[in-house]
Amino acid sequence: MIRRAWLLIWLLGGIGLGSAWAGEIAKPGKIKHVVVVWLKQAEEAGRFMALSKQLVDLPGVVDYSIGPALPDKSGSDFHLGIVVTLENRQSLYEYLNHPKHRDLIAKMRPLVERVVTYDFITR
């Protein structure tokens, strides 16, 4: 498996895709930090959202949205979605490592069954 991964990296680098991808990541742009949350108890959504909204005023945050998942036929079973827009990659690093963020994560952790995060650069 590791051999295949190295082969893919070598091939992509050899035909120029590796460096093109690295260049794309290096370009400036706002960052979207997306968090999908499954709660241990759905009734705790209000409490979780109230705690989460305390992160709105952290440095680098341009926009902060949180809300419940829409029920759909695909079987999506998460409870809450959060989208944080940040100034740049440095702002994301500072946001994730900010003492207030770390403290609130510790307070929210007992309410959470599962969390998935995604980060991407906007153009």
pLDDT at 28: 79
42-85 residue pLDDT tens: 999 999 999 999 999 999 999 999 999 988 766 678 999 999 99
* Residue ranges per structural domain of the chain: 29-121
Instruction: Tell me, yes or no, if the pTM score tops 0.95.
Output: no
Strand residue runs (E) in the chain: 31-39, 61-68, 80-86, 112-121
Cα 70 to Cα 8: distance, rounded to the nearest angstrom: 38
Class of domain 29-121: alpha beta
